[in-house]
Chain A
Amino acid sequence: MEKTIADRTVTVNEEGFMTDAAQWCKEIGEALALEEGICMVDRHWVVVEYLRDQDAQGVPMSIRKIKNSGVVDIKEIYQLFPKGPLKVASKVAGLKKPASCL
């Protein structure tokens, strides 16, 4: 379905995850974060950029990958996205919901 975020029209699924990562921009990320009650600061963007980079390389994400990322540790990602680190961070990053159970 279509949704207007930050004055742009993007396609999202029924859970509000963007279905085309190419439609994403920082303003959209900021608006999606606000919907989740998150005010983006530098460290949020570092995580979002890391996730988008990994996604572009086709690497499936898991909490273990975060642990070994060298970009952010598990404690910090929970502080940044307390309602679900990978799930919410992926949503803000304009990516699909992570399919892994780990």
Chain B
Amino acid sequence: MSDTKGKINKMLIILSKSTLENVYACFVLANGARMEGIEAEIFCTFFGLDAINKKKLDHLHTATVGNPALNMPTMLGGLPGMEALASSMMKKEMEKIDMPDVHEFLDILSASGVKLWACKLAMDMFHLKKEDLYDDIDGVLTVGEFYGRGEGEGTHMLFI
């Protein structure tokens, strides 16, 4: 710490769920790090795997139940089609501010040098193979291996 004066050199971000808002928070933080010359790696675990699952990444939703920030009564949020409606509204707003969709964002992250990892345990649990994942994934890691990536001064870890 004394040498780097608290400067951030690397961000390790754990993505544990794949609602649109969580995935975008994770991706924006990772991209923002790279744009500042900071290294960034994303470890997708449990439902966070959906964000790199080829079959699912284009169909992520925002949660309308149990999401108080939407200011929507819980009963209403549970109605059929409500989640799809909220998700499509959110995607429209994102497009307005030039936010890429999930697939394009993964392309940007990968080209920017963000390392994308899948959690081995979660892969086993959901019976996923590497072929099921986004093509430019960097690999499948155990928790221990992911921690190993955090060596060096100025590494910070985020759980999303």
Note all chain B residues with C-beta closer than 8 A to A22: none
State whether A78 and B100 are in contact (beta carbons under 8 Å apart), knowing that A63-B108, A64-B108, A101-B28 are contacts in the complex.
Answer: no
Structural contact, B100 and A84, CB atoms closer than 8 A: no
B10 on interface, CB distance cutoff 8 Å: no
**A4–chain B nearest beta-carbon distance, Å:** 26
A86 interface contact, C-beta 8 A: yes
Q: How many residues of B contact A (CB 8 A)?
A: 17
A5 CB to closest chain B CB (Å) equals: 22
How many A residues touch B, CB cutoff 8 Å? 19
Q: B37 contacts A102, CB within 8 Å?
A: no
Write the nearest CB–CB distance from B109 to chain A, whole angstroms: 9
- Would A102 and B36 be within 8 Å (CB), given that A63-B112, A64-B108, A73-B111 are in contact? no
Which one of B98, B107, B111, B113 lies within 8 Å of A102 (CB-CB)? B98
Residues of A within 8 A of B32 (CB): 101
Residues in A with CB closer than 8 Å to B111 are: 67, 73-75, 78
The reply on B70 being an interface residue by CB < 8 A is no
Q: Pick the contact of B112: A78, A83, A88 (CB < 8 A).
A: A78
Whether A87 is near chain B, meaning CB under 8 Å from some CB there, is: yes
The reply to whether A63 and B37 form a contact with Cβ atoms under 8 Å apart is no
